[in-house]
Structures are given as structure tokens and as C-alpha cells.
Amino acid sequence: MAINERAILQSELRWTLIVAGIVAVIIGAMLFAALTMHVNPPSNREFVDPRTLHLAAEFTEENLGTRVDPDGRVVTRVITTQFEFVPNCIVLPADRDVTLRFATPDVIHGILITGTNVNTMVIPGYVAQVHTRFTKQGDLLMPCHEYCGLGHTQMIATVRVVSPDVFRPDSQGRVSCGDDR
Ligand code: CUA
């Protein structure tokens, strides 16, 4: 039986429509997650020199950890490095907008905070920034989730979410876990 060209075209058109439908469903799911569940890739594009990270400007040792700025903004700065977080414990208030800023001097790390949608890569040369608001209090784990070398599995920090009335900055605006470095 001769192959009917018309039948082939119809079959191709059918599969085109099926594939287009699948792509539409996937894009629809992404839009739904981004718009209603606030699950979306971090969009911050900000450069930092990984070689001088610890020497000058924002990510020097005395700037790390949580600080309340004079305008009331709560910002935490953390360095992710092989194979630890500096500091390895941060304190943040519940029910308040907070900003997390990460930078790395060495290789790519990834962070997530368990039980939240906070999840980002930390790439040398860039500042990874996340805005969030914690609704539950308690100690949350923040592991590195990007293989970064032999000590990767040891790389874990604590995010201590406390009630806003025990979140008391010192005279410098700093809040720390107390037992961290
Ligand atoms: Cu850092 Cu894995």
C-alpha cells in the first residue's frame, strides 16, 4: 500500500499539537508556581570580587551575620566557603521581611533553608540575594546542596528564627546566636 502523503502530514500535525500542548502545560505550571507560590529563580545580578571578598567592603568579617540597618531593614550576610558557613549560625526574626546575602571566595555552593522556599546557588563573582519572611520559629537547617568538594557533606549552618520580641539588636544593630564564631 502506498504511503499517503496527506496521512503523514496529518500525523505530523497531530504530534505537533500534542507536543505544543505539553510545552504549554509545563510553562503554565512554571507560571503558576512563580506567581502563586513564589517559587522562582533568584534574579539578583550583582558582582563582587571573590579574591578580595574578606578584605574590603561588604563581606569583611565584622559585617557578617545579621544586622538591622537604621531604616529597619534586616539583612544577613554569610560567606559560603569550603567547607563551612561564616557565621555558621544566624538569627532572624519571624513575621518580618528579611534579606539574605551570600558570597563565596572559592567554588560554587548552593544553599537551602529546610521547610522554606529559600534556595539559591552561590557563585564566585556574584552576590546571591534572597528576600523572604519566616512564619515559623525555631532552628532551621541550612545545608550546602551543591557538591563543592570532599567536605561538602559537613557544610551546614543553623538559621535561628525567633519571635520578633526577642529579636533585640545590640548598639551596632547586630544580632548573633551567641555561640557562633
Ligand atoms: Cu559547599 Cu557543598
Q: Which residues contact 161 (CB under 8 A, 6 or more apart)?
A: 92, 93, 94, 134, 136, 137, 138, 139, 140
- pTM given for the model: 0.79
Pocket of ligand 1 (CB under 6 A): 80, 109, 144, 146-148, 152, 155
Nearest atom of ligand 1 to the alpha carbon of 155: 1
Q: Is 121 helix (H, G, I), strand (E, B) or coil?
A: strand
Q: From the CA of 147, give the closest atom in ligand 1.
A: 2
Atom of ligand 1 nearest to the CA of 152: 2
pLDDT at 180: 44
- The string of pLDDT tens digits covering residues 94-140 is 999 999 999 999 999 999 999 999 999 999 999 999 999 999 999 99
Average pLDDT over the chain, rounded to an integer: 91
Q: Minimum mean pLDDT among 52-56, 101-105, 124-128, 147-151: which range? A: 52-56
Q: Which three cell numbers stand for residue 25?
A: 502545560
* For residue 55, pLDDT beyond 90: no
